[in-house]
Amino acid sequence: MSNHAAAATAGLLVMRRVEATARWFSIDPGPADAGCQFAVSVRCYVKRSLVFRRRGQPPYVIYQPYIGASNGSIMKFGVRDLSVLQSDDACRWALRRMLARMPQLQVLRHTDVDWDDVVPSNMVPQIVRAACGDNAPHGFTFHFVMAVDRQFIHDEQALLMACKRELGGSDKLENCPICLDVLEGEPVVQPPRCPHAFHHRCIFRWFCKATTCPICRRDVRICALPEFLSL
């Protein structure tokens, strides 16, 4: 049900975790639609969060804006061939393809591995049971409500990963505001959305204690969000 996909770049780590759970289901008898005798109807609630973990401290969680219920959270999918729902593997595959069409889930930009986790595993046997039952040939609509929780979990090393390594031509290389030595001649980085530059080694030590730019106090955890989300 949950999977940990690690995006490791040069030993730095950001984890992505997707968890889908079905909260409720029901089966309505009778033809679902004019065109199809069988249908699966899904209502989906999506939660996204960014979790910052630092050794010896409680996790810091930033919730991203909730994706409104009106934005494609309910969809109904017609099924013409009942056999598609009559075995665990076929049903899981069909559900995965249905869920991939939901706008709410598309905005999460799941990887292939994430999509495997988006299908609530406890729903598959319920649907198969309905599709193999005595009433199945008369048609049915299988309704279920699911919640999807996608988290990015990262640590202080990931903050460094979100920093710019190549400074723009207009950036003047002066002194590192942390150690006051000249920046030139050493690897230099710039926190996201921040005009300040630091030695790579100095800002890493800083990130082990604080998550803001030492000069402008922008919170790098929040500024780095777009970088993490594009992983």
Is 12 or 179 the residue whose CB approaches Zn ion more closely? 179
Q: What string of DSSP letters covers 66-118?
A: P--TTTT-EEEEEES-GGGGSSHHHHHHHHHHHHTT-HHHHTT---HHHHHHH
What is the number of other CB atoms lying within 10 angstroms of the CB of residue 20?
A: 24
Is 56 or 168 the residue whose CB approaches Zn ion more closely? 168
Phi-psi region of 148 (alpha: psi -120 to 50; beta: other; left: phi over 0): beta
Is 196 a residue that touches Zn ion (CB under 5 A)? yes
Is 222 a residue that touches Zn ion (CB under 5 A)? no
100, 113, 182, 216: which one binds Zn ion (CB under 5 A): 216
Is 105 a residue that touches Zn ion (CB under 5 A)? no
Is 20 or 194 the residue whose CB approaches Zn ion more closely? 194
Q: What string of DSSP letters covers 70-81?
A: TTT-EEEEEES-
Q: How many residues sit close enough to Zn ion to count as binding (CB under 5 A)?
A: 10
Site for Zn ion in 158-187 (CB under 5 A): 176, 178-179
Is 75 a residue that touches Zn ion (CB under 5 A)? no
Question: What residues make contact with Zn ion under the rule CB under 5 A?
Answer: 176, 178-179, 194, 196, 199, 202, 213, 215-216
